[in-house]
Amino acid sequence: MTQFYDARGNIYGVISPQALRRAGVDLPARASACISSRQSWSAAAIKLCCDWPAGQRPANSKSHRSDGLLIGPFQTSAPFDVLIVNTDGTLAERSGNGLTIFSQALTEQGLMPEEGALLRVHHDKGDAVETSVKPAEVEGVQGYWLDLGQPGFGPDAVGAQTVEGIAFKGQQVSHVQPLAQLDPAWGHSQFVRIGNPHCVTLLSDAAALPSNEQMRESPLNEGLTDIAYAMPVGAGDPCPAGVNLQWAVLESPQKILARVFERGEGPTASSGTSASAVACAAWRVGWVAAGEVQVVMPGGTAPILLDAEHGQLRGVRLFGTARRMAH
């Protein structure tokens, strides 16, 4: 019923609204109508589709078999509506790897047009977020370019509160006190919005990059959860709606090493929008030039294209591939 896909180590389940309803989950027929009733169906959908079968959870694995659930399509022709459900039952505005996976599922179902399509993610934090997707081949690999639009920068772009300005490489960034309290090396952060909110902490030394194993352990996990998650799971500090966290360090020209702690998920092997936010933050502080940027995460490398003109970043595109996993 639920088909799982892997995109750079990010795993999502994909299921149609009709299949969920047949399984007894009370999901409305329209994606937009699912938002107001989210509390009544999201936990049941995650339990049904993403919980490990009894006795099958591997040792040291995450509490769910995937990083989230994609519900869609709600139509048989473009534009396609989709819901991105985190494993805590909340709704995400956008997921680069998730939308790559959804595009692959649409292709396998014979629904993805050759010229690409518009995907609309419905969520409870504002208007639906639209992403234009186009099938493409890069270095012999078949995948999809996702047009993530023009990024926004700074505390106002993500609704951050009680943060101070601080200089980094001659550029104004933000000092997020809860992050700096966890590690003094985490004192310089760039807020970026790419349809969803990100806080990219800029590092001078790769030794300050946290590992996913470290981020799963106490007390670091609790501290990061307080920052990344909205209330009541976290503290929503400094962003009341929560924020995705990244750490980045320049490895070589146009190549960034990164780690990710996602709002609603925790440490993840990779994240498409996080990689895009990292590339945008790196451009903002002069680490990289416009054009192709490689962002290396534990789950793999994400190629990002930055389009800049007259000192302004006009757009960002992400290339991704996904593979269907065996049950």
Please check whether residue 284 is in contact with residue 61, taking contact to mean a CB–CB distance below 8 angstroms.
no
How confident is the model over 25-38, as a mean pLDDT? Answer: 95
Instruction: Please tell me whether residues 266 and 306 are part of one structural domain.
Output: yes
What is the domain extent for residue 280?
152-310
Residues 192 and 253 in one domain: yes
Does 180 fall in a domain? yes
In a domain, 138, yes or no: yes
- CATH number at 57 reads 3.10.310
Domain shared by 194 and 137, yes or no: no
Residue 107 sits in the same domain as residue 33: yes
- The whole-number average pLDDT for the span 57-65 is 86
* 197/299 same-domain check: yes
- Domain boundary at 106, 123, 147, which? 147
Domain harbouring 265, CATH code: 3.10.310.10
294 with 178, same domain: the answer is yes
Number of independent structural domains in the chain: 2
Residues 140 and 157 in one domain: no
Instruction: Note whether residue 324 is domain-resident.
Output: no
Look at residue 107 and give its three-state secondary structure.
helix
Same domain for 275 and 181, yes or no, is: yes
Q: Give residue 139's pLDDT band: very low, low, confident or very high (50, 70, 90).
A: confident
Question: Which residue among 108, 127, 147 closes a domain?
Answer: 147
Mean pLDDT of 189-202: 97
| 116-140: average pLDDT | 95
Using CB atoms within 10 A of its CB, is residue 292 exposed (0-12), middle (13-18) or buried (19+)? middle
Residue 320 placed within a domain: no
* Residues paired with 192 in a beta bridge: 153, 198
Over range 290-294, report the average pLDDT: 97
> What is the overall mean pLDDT for the chain?
96
In this structure, are residues 319 and 145 in contact, taking their beta carbons and an 8 Å threshold?
A: yes
Final residue of a structural domain among 115, 147, 179: 147
pLDDT in tens, 304-320: 999 999 989 999 999 99
* pLDDT score recorded for residue 140: 92
In a domain, 137, yes or no: yes
Examine the domain organization and report whether 163 and 139 are in the same domain: no
Q: Are residues 9 and 141 in the same domain?
A: yes
Note the pLDDT tens digit of each residue in 105-119. 999 999 999 999 999
Structure tokens at 159: 């609704």
Q: What is the DSSP string of 156-217?
A: HHHT--S-EEEEETTEEEEE-HHHHHH-TT---EEEEESSSEEEEEE-S-GGGSPPHHHHHS
Place of tokens 């990710």: 260
Same domain membership, residue 171 and residue 135? no
How much is the pLDDT for 327?
Answer: 67
If we measure between CA atoms, which residue out of 240, 259, 242, 273 comes closest to residue 121? Answer: 273
pLDDT, tens digit, 9 for 90 and up, residues 205-261: 999 999 999 999 999 999 999 999 999 999 999 999 999 999 999 999 999 999 999
**pLDDT tens per residue, range 68-79:** 999 999 999 999
Residue pair 258/302 in contact (Cβ under 8 Å)? The answer is no
Same domain as 104, residue 58: yes
Which whole number is the average pLDDT over 54-65?
Answer: 86
